[in-house]
Structure 1
């Protein structure tokens, strides 16, 4: 890797592509794209964006699949210094309109469908003639480099604003600053399987890590496991807890040849000690258990040799404090709320000062997760302070779900709790108090929530109750409701 100053993000990634000139860095079906070819794509797309008048500080929304061109578009948009807004597929129309209304100068899509007056297609951008030579990163340190969106469970997605200075400081592109667990992981990303969307912070950053580490990003159009691993001879992938549970069950039932597999990075929700232990037993020493948030990026990670149930030792560049209800640090072994500082953390929620003040405080990020340190410095997650449901690794606040359910004419009151789910990790269980003389139809309630908030928020179970149990304070006691699931 060149030692010169690579400039702002994605300078180090472009250097890695130049160093991998003749080596495949992205594989998609029968197509293998070398570092030089991907770098050329980035240059042409960046030139096309500049020809469209886009540059530092301009908002660019990306509605893309997972392809070599999509990867190049993300890098090119950052190379011109734009404020990049990745849009996940399958969003409800209201949330899509909200994202495209966040001071967006242009939309880039690979579908040909127009989403805004200024819609640019990937094909047209790739046909642009490059300016000559690799693009020179133009991001300004204090500018917002990207808006990374939370699940949208509060009605509309919250946009975490990460600056170019923060993206440039991130560990993924800086091998000299990789913490020990990433040094252990990086060589295992030789054939790193990706699927879903590059709008996912985790998917994109581990793809970048794979390229910087000398690996190949392998795109899986059919992401079913274990088939995708065996078909592509994948050495690594990012996986959610529910998908890990399914993979472990499939291997117990009918073992596939996973001899190529060297790393599964478990992300999105906590992995219990029992599931962690079972995964190591069935799959071997390939499980890396990551902990992070949209607001912070990676906070800590356990390697295969760490005790099951922990998320490892936070790296030196990350500060983690466990605090009590008064905000004072607690001793080792005592549970408390986790406050975190990372070099790459977001600075605020875009255009949302009220929520920003709740979470971004004094240079720290309030995670609203509960945890403790053990005597060896390993971090253990023990719960959360938020009233949320985590479905397929996406966090959904229950308040908006309850409000939508209560809008139905057959529902007088609604209370939502999380229940374990083998397919999605957790699912929504709604307890509803019917309007007098009415009988709520669960299918109608699911359809209402799906239309307003998306399918992940729709209740998997609906239970009618005469009234909720009350806590000593006189408020509805959801802990008691949870025992009735």
Structure 2
């Protein structure tokens, strides 16, 4: 990363608080000086290789420099995700080390200018990416410097598919949180390919949503967005047209897209829609490209990326990658459950067919009905196949009569009213009586966890209320 910035020191690396007409530009050379100056400040404060730091910062050029300074110094770097409860924040802070805030970064940048020096050691932990905490206490996934260097986007040896994707990242729209590993990974794709990270000035309450107007306003060429934001973008484009001619790649991440929605996204946005499957524990595992969509492959999560080994054991997807976590921070027993003989148990159910990976459910989404296991994933697929249903999510809840009962939540398609009886009949016909939902609740939109994935804990809260 440092070499890439030094290769073109005059090239805009970051454009921050960007609005139509421009923003503050930080060149590669200026960003390098910021990184070196902050790193020197870290070192002066007694930090060094193996030290833990946690960044509680927004998305700014200064915050980016603080992250990269931590990596250059060889620290164990983590970010404090937004949206955590007080207890979850306390848990992360207790396991992370020295706190770095925007105020602390500004103080460090007032020190003598310096060039970055790389002290990182391959065997040390580079970053700790925290899970969403949707099941309670978040888990810290540790990734070493060796793993980060072998990562599909951070590594020096890109596959042809990665290199082709990187061509679209000339002006990468950067927003959300730098604490997200997936945000960092696509940011790396941008900066390593000589692109510019464009940080938009966020709209006020009276300005309307950021998307899709931000694309033509900032001439953005690529971004990542979670599925609910993609839906909002598609809905806006139905009501008003925008010039999206600059856009080369929109990576839809967080959860798989139902086939009908993937086809719609391709139809509305054009051949720029990518999807990917991965986990915090593994990083990105697959890539599903516009060419795959054009070929009619709509129900797969894509082909495994180069260097990713995928094995299906008893229906469960296991993966082995050079970039995977070395374990959960401070959780040896949980690590032993998930990391088995060098393989990561994804807890997802799936199959490999024709070079593509297909997900069929989640091993963790098991509902025990009448003492028999029922999987949420297949039920969701049947419900989402209805002409009246846009999205479907299924959870289990305690039931005095059956042990647990199946409960479904659906987001209707615009102007459609799902027939609950017909939905239950479809489930019964496809996968049997045990899988038929006890209740079906209609929602205008699904609650979303900080990871961008549907928040099933919030759905359980809705059920209890």
Q: Compared with structure 1, are the counterparts of its residues 185 and 422 closer, same or farther at alpha carbon in structure 2 (3 Å cutoff)? A: farther
Partner of 1:371: 350
Q: Deviations over 1:351-396 (max 9, x none)?
A: 1112111111100000011222222x11122221113999xxxxx9
Q: Aligned residue for 1:342?
A: 321
Q: Is 2:151 aligned against 1:147?
A: no
- Structure 2 CA distance, aligned partners of 1:163 and 1:171? 14
TM superposition shift of 1:421:
4.6
Does the C-alpha gap of structure 1 residues 312 and 360 become closer, same or farther in structure 2, counting only changes over 3 Å? Answer: same
Q: Find the counterpart in structure 1 of residue 105 from structure 2.
A: 122
Contact 1:195 1:221 in 2 (8 A): no
The aligned residue for residue 66 of structure 1 is: 59
Give RMSD over aligned pairs. 2.9
Alpha carbons of structure 1 residues 186 and 418: separation in structure 2 relative to 1, 3 Å: farther
Counterparts of 2:127 and 2:394 in 1: how far apart (Å)?
23
- 1:154-169 to 2 correspondences below 5 Å: 154-169=135-150
Question: Equivalent residue for 1:137?
Answer: 118
Equivalent pairs counted in the alignment come to 384
Matches within 5 A, 1:70-81: 70-81=63-74
2:184 corresponds to: 204
Distance 1:213 1:205 in 2: 12
> What is the CA distance between 1:174 and its match in structure 2?
3.1
Report the Cα distance in structure 1 between the residues aligned to 2:463 and 2:308, rounded to whole angstroms: 43
2:8 is the alignment partner of 1:25: no
1:57–1:144 contact (8 Å) kept in structure 2: yes
Q: Is the 8 A contact 1:172 1:205 kept in 2?
A: yes
Cα distance in 2 between the residues matched to 1:350 and 1:246: 36
Q: Hey, what does 2:360 align to over in structure 1?
A: 382
* Alignment match, 2:205: none
Q: Which residue in the other structure is 2:304 paired with?
A: 314
CA-CA distance at 1:414 after TM superposition: 9.6
**1:347 deviation in Å?**
1.2
CA separation of 1:122 and 1:418: change in aligned 2, threshold 3 A? farther
The answer for unaligned runs of 5 or more in structure 2 is 203-208, 367-375, 378-392, 414-449
2:313 is aligned with 1:323: yes
Q: What is the Cα deviation at residue 319 of structure 1? A: 0.3
Q: Hey, what's the Cα distance between the residues in 1 that align with 2:457 and 2:237?
A: 30
Q: How does 1:217-232 map to 2 (within 5 A)?
A: 217-222=197-202, 224-232=210-218
Distance 1:103 1:38, change over 3 A: closer
Instruction: Give ranges in structure 1 of 5+ residues lacking alignment.
Output: 1-12, 113-120, 325-335, 391-395, 404-412, 424-449, 466-485
Q: TM-score, normalised by structure 2?
A: 0.77
Q: CA deviation at 1:255?
A: 1.6
